[in-house]
Amino acid sequence: MNLTTIKKLIQLYDDILSVQHKTEVAREIRDEDDLFLFLCLSETLGLPNPAFYYTLELYPHMIEKFHDWHLRMGMEKSPLDGLRCC
């Protein structure tokens, strides 16, 4: 058994064990992103946002993420009138 095969085996072993953990970390990160999205869009939901003028500038960058979010939540069309992503 040469070194490349051993390295491949170790890589496979690491992949097997970390696949579940990667999913969990990705889910945690996605939840944090969702929270950030909610904070940025709080004004559109009727919650006062002191940083509104700054977050407004982020809207063009958020539109794609927002589209992914409402699809993930089972809504085919954007639930917010002010954000027409599709």
Partner 1 sequence: MHAVWLAVIGTIVFWLGYRFYSKFVAERIYRLDPNFVTPAHEYNDGVDFVPTKKSVLWGHHFTSVAGAAPIVGPAIAVYWGWLPALLWVLLGTVFAAGVHDFGTLVLSVRNKGQSVGTLANKLIGKRAKLLFLFIILILVLMVNAVFAWVISNLFIKFPASVIPVFIEIPLAIWIGYAVYKKKGSMLIPSIIALVVMYGSAVLTSKVPALQIDLVKYFGGAEATTLFGLNGVSLAFFVWIVILMVYCYIASTLPVWKLLQPRDYINSHQLVVGLVIMYGGLLFLNPEITAPITNPEATDKSWFPLLFITIACGAISGFHGLVSSGTSSKQLDKETDARFVGYLGAVGEGFLALISIIACVTVFSSVGEFKEAYSSFGAANGGGLGNFIAGGAQLATGIGIPADIAGTIISIIVVSFAATTLDSSVRLMRYIIAELGTEYKVPSLTKTHVATSIAVVSSAALVLLPKGPNGFGSGGYLLWPLFGTSNQLLAGISLLLVSIWLKRLGRNYLVTFIPMVFILFMTIWAMIQQVVFEWSGLGATDMNLLLFIFGSIILVFAIWIVLTALKELTKRDTPTNL
Contacting residues toward partner 1, per CB under 8 A? 10, 12-21, 23-28, 30, 68, 72
- In the bound state with partner 1, the residue whose beta carbon lies nearer, of 56 and 64, is 64
Nearest to 18 by CA among 8, 26, 28, 6: 26
Other C-beta atoms lying within 10 Å of the C-beta of residue 40:
21
Cα–Cα dist 70/68, whole Å: 6
- In the bound state with partner 1, the residue whose beta carbon lies nearer, of 23 and 56, is 23
Q: How far is the CB of 18 from partner 1 (least distance, A)?
A: 6
Kind plus residue range of the DSSP H or E element containing 66: helix 52-72
Q: How far is the CB of 30 from partner 1 (least distance, A)?
A: 6
The structure tokens listed for 13 are 């072993």
Q: How far is the CB of 42 from partner 1 (least distance, A)?
A: 24
- In the bound state with partner 1, the residue whose beta carbon lies nearer, of 5 and 20, is 20
